[in-house]
């Protein structure tokens, strides 16, 4: 069973690592994935309510809070996430304003004499030393108070044995403040005995400015970080904004306007020109031109008439129609898209495990390094002030946040950018794997071709009338969901509407890779390829040459036989998609080999392959053989993507390293895939791979920066370069720490400008 939890108290990667570890150690839990950006956790467990209670208790013991997200909360989880983000921004802004107002005079008073700035007479000279110290204390205390959450969280997690970034800040700032308070007492005692030299020395040893500025600069960085985090969710916000807020429904014979979420399945909904369609449904009356670009990406409006399906969040440009609501609330297409994007942003890429492993031990290691630095400088310099300065610098410059944000920020922006381009990525692992692909396997019908074939030729066997052929063909094919069956039924309806009315079809069966078999009015009828006919002893020699000629022109020949005798052949053509050739060319330019799989016969497949330029063709395959072909490629060391749209593609989609489903395909194919192409455009296969490459490039840049920053800055903060005259003030360290996270998030936000190549 899978359940979502809201987590409170997390501030950095060490927090999320600790929460994930605490939850994962509970008996009955199979998997726990914590998302620092969304303050949530996806838990896979045995379904026992006691396991949930144990998980909450374990996380509480670790110093954090956890509660299962209720169904109602889950339905509005996205809105809640965005509200929480805005609240965090507002809170950081308030803290920053108060801290900055007090930090400016504090810094001026403390550092002014060093820079030769004019001093206030009341705080200058020997007589003003005590007043100077008290003024710094009074300015520093409100800064400590307004930023008290660092101390509450930091010392709480420290006491629970799971220190986080707040622990580093709290220890560094508290040590500075405590040392300064002791120094203030030293000044007071020295002034009491007129020991001005000791008082002056103590005044220069005050660190109130460091304590206050550390918190101010970190809060400044956290404010920018919170703003940047908010922008990473803009893609989901944009999707949510597509949903109309109200709907016009017919109740008790009158039109009433109700909130969209109150629309019930089966209700009659009225849509006028310029309005957004509130839910998914079917047109009952009227017609309109509907702009479906929000869902399909197609800019040209589509005419909708009686019987046509319409999708929520699309817009009626003109006309009027009444529709029956078929899918509402969480069951609409838009809700499904939002859910997929949201789940993807909450998932973890394999590369993040490396960062999580480092983050899990990062803070304890930094605490140890700071303690070692303090002891080292006490031994070398025998100066408490110098030792404390270096130790505090180590604490405040270390940044586990950059490690924790490196991957999820890029994943969130990357998946959001994919959604904006009609590419729905179900999880982060698929996004990471896609950049490693070197072979793309494509189904033919509906993927490379339009998937809406039409009858081009009809060949009759000797002694057979067109009525006989059309009767049996219609009776048989109406039982099938195959695109070729739809083409034949459409042709029969044009030529002889209702010809098969009253036909009794029994023992209907589908033969994978062969065709259909059934009894029509008590007579055995076969429909399918030449292999099926030969297997059942039907002589097809009379029309075989003509059928082969059709195949040479990329027209699929479908044989029909009754009671062992050939009736005729339908030639069915499925046109190549206009973008297929360009899609294959883009993949080739990326160094990716293409393979086309089809259950169609060899000749037809070869003609299609030659037209679009695929590297390899495998024709006449059964559904199981598609999966087998994918497995063979994987065993040969290839990283394989499977692109398909039908039920028969589902096993291969599930087997592939990355399954890519055409958005217009079946629900089974879409559910089996890792990536869904909403535009049903084969060019989006290359686009998805390009997006994966761009996202992974950003993640690697972020991880490099996070590791490089800490690897360089911590030794400098320790004072290892002091012999060369290079030292680091704690205030500079605090600023660097705050903005290292901002750099990582800002780098991820560059993905918002990403565009696919043409």
As given in the structure block, the two tokens for residue 657 are 């390293």
With contact defined as beta carbons under 8 Å apart, do 533 and 540 qualify? yes
Q: How many CA atoms lie within 13 A of 548 on its CB side?
A: 5
Q: Return the SS3 of 319.
A: strand
Using only C-alpha atoms, what is the Rg of the chain? 35
201: left (phi over 0), alpha (psi -120 to 50) or beta: alpha
Indicate if 443 belongs to the active site: yes
* 3-state helix/strand/coil string of 562-581: ECCEEEEEEEEECCECCCHH
Output DSSP code: residue 67.
Answer: E
CB atoms within 10 A of CB 488: 26
**Burial class of residue 685 in the structure, from the number of CB atoms within 10 Å of its CB (0-12 exposed, 13-18 middle, 19+ buried):** buried
Q: Are strands 268-272 and 315-327 parallel, antiparallel or unpaired?
A: antiparallel
Q: Give the residue ranges of DSSP H helices in 299-351.
A: 333-346
Query: What's the CA gap between 381 and 379, in Å, rounded?
Result: 6
As given in the structure block, the two tokens for residue 390 are 């270096």
As given in the structure block, the two tokens for residue 644 are 């398909």
Residue closest to 281 by CA, chosen among 246, 239, 245, 314: 314
Q: Are strands 505-511 and 640-644 parallel, antiparallel or unpaired?
A: unpaired
Rounded alpha-carbon distances, angstroms, from residue 359 to 15, 25, 108: 9, 18, 37
Rounded alpha-carbon distances, angstroms, from residue 172 to 109, 168, 169, 374: 21, 6, 5, 12
Query: What's the CA gap between 704 and 356, in Å, rounded?
Result: 14
Q: Return the SS3 of 205.
A: coil
Q: Give the residue ranges of DSSP H helices in 478-553.
A: 483-495, 530-535, 541-552
Give CA 483 to chain center in angstroms: 33
As given in the structure block, the two tokens for residue 470 are 């059309």
668: left (phi over 0), alpha (psi -120 to 50) or beta: alpha
Q: Which residues contact 579 (CB under 8 A, 6 or more apart)?
A: 681, 682, 683
**Sign, Cα dihedral of 252, 256, 260, 261:** negative
Out of 280, 443, 500, 649, pick the active-site residue.
443
At residue 318, φ and ψ (nearest 5 deg) are: -155, 160
At residue 591, φ and ψ (nearest 5 deg) are: 80, 25
DSSP string, 411-432: HHHHHHHHHHTTEEE--HHHHH
With contact defined as beta carbons under 8 Å apart, do 59 and 74 qualify? no
Query: What's the CA gap between 587 and 442, in Å, rounded?
Result: 12
Residue closest to 605 by CA, chosen among 683, 552, 562: 552
Show which residues are catalytic. 443
């Amino acid at each position: 069973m899978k359940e979502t939890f809201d987590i409170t108290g997390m501030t950095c990667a060490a927090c999320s690592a600790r929460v994930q570890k605490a939850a994962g150690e509970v008996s009955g839990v199979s998997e726990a994935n914590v998302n620092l950006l969304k303050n949530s956790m996806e838990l896979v467990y045995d379904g026992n309510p006691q396991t949930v209670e144990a998980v909450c208790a374990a996380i509480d013991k670790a110093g954090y809070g956890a509660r299962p997200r209720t169904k109602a909360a889950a339905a509005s989880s996205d809105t809640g996430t965005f509200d929480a983000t805005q609240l965090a921004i507002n809170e950081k802004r308030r803290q920053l304003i108060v801290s900055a107002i007090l930090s400016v005079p504090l810094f001026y008073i403390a550092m002014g004499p060093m820079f030769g700035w004019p001093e206030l007479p009341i705080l200058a000279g020997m007589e003003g030393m005590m007043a100077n110290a008290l003024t710094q204390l009074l300015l520093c205390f409100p800064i400590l108070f307004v930023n008290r959450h660092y101390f509450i969280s930091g010392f709480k997690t420290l006491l629970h044995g799971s220190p986080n970034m707040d622990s580093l800040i709290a220890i560094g700032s508290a040590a500075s403040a405590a040392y300064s308070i002791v120094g203030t007492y030293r000044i007071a005692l020295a002034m009491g005995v007129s020991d001005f030299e000791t008082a002056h020395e103590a005044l220069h040893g005050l660190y109130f400015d460091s304590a206050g500025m550390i918190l101010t600069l970190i809060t400044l960085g956290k404010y920018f970080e919170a703003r940047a985090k908010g922008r990473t969710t803009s893609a989901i916000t944009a999707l949510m904004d597509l949903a109309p807020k109200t709907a016009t429904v017919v109740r008790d014979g009158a039109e009433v306007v109700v909130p969209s979420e109150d629309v019930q399945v089966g209700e009659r909904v009225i849509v006028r020109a310029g309005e957004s369609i509130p839910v998914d449904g079917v047109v009952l009356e009227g017609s309109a031109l509907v702009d479906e670009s929000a869902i399909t990406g197609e800019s040209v409006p589509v005419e909708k008439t009686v019987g046509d399906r319409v999708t929520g969040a699309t817009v009626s440009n003109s006309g009027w129609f009444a529709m029956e609501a078929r899918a509402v609330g969480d069951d609409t297409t838009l809700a499904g898209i939002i859910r997929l994007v949201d789940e993807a942003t909450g998932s973890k890429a394999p590369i993040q495990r490396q960062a999580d492993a480092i983050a899990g031990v990062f803070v304890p290691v930094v605490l140890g390094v700071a303690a070692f630095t303090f002891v080292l400088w006490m031994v070398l310099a025998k100066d408490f002030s110098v030792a404390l300065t270096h130790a505090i610098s180590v604490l405040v410059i270390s940044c586990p946040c950059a490690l924790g944000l490196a991957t999820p920020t890029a994943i969130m922006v990357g998946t959001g950018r994919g959604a904006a381009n009609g590419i729905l990525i179900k999880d982060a692992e698929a996004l990471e794997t896609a950049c490693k692909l070197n072979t793309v396997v494509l189904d033919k019908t509906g993927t490379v071709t339009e998937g809406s074939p039409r009858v081009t030729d009809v060949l009759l066997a000797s002694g057979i009338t067109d009525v006989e052929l059309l009767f049996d063909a219609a009776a048989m094919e109406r039982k099938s969901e195959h695109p070729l069956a739809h083409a034949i039924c459409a042709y029969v309806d044009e030529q002889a509407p209702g010809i098969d009315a009253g036909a009794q079809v029994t023992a209907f069966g589908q033969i994978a890779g062969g065709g259909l078999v059934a009894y029509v009015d008590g007579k055995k009828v076969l429909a399918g390829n030449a292999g099926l006919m030969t297997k059942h002893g039907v002589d097809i020699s009379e029309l075989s040459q003509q059928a082969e000629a059709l195949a040479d022109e990329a027209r699929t020949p479908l044989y029909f036989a009754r009671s062992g005798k050939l009736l005729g052949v339908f030639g069915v053509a499925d046109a190549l998609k206009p973008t297929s050739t360009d899609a294959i060319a883009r993949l080739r330019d990326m160094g990716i080999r293409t393979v086309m799989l089809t259950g169609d016969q060899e000749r037809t497949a070869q003609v299609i392959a030659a037209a679009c330029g695929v590297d390899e063709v495998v024709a006449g395959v059964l559904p199981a053989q598609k999966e087998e072909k994918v497995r063979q490629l994987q065993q040969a060391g290839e990283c394989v993507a499977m692109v398909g749209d039908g039920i028969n593609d589902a096993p291969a989609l599930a087997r592939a390293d990355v399954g890519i489903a055409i958005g217009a395909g079946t629900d089974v194919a879409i559910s089996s895939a890792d990536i869904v192409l909403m535009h049903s455009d084969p060019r989006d296969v290359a686009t998805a791979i390009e997006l994966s490459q761009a996202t992974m490039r950003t993640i690697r840049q972020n991880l490099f920066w996070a590791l490089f920053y800490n690897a360089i800055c911590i030794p400098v903060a320790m004072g290892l370069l002091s012999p060369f005259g290079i030292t680091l003030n704690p205030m500079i360290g605090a600023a660097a720490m705050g903005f290292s996270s901002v750099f990582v998030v800002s780098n991820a936000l560059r993905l918002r400008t990403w565009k696919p190549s043409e």
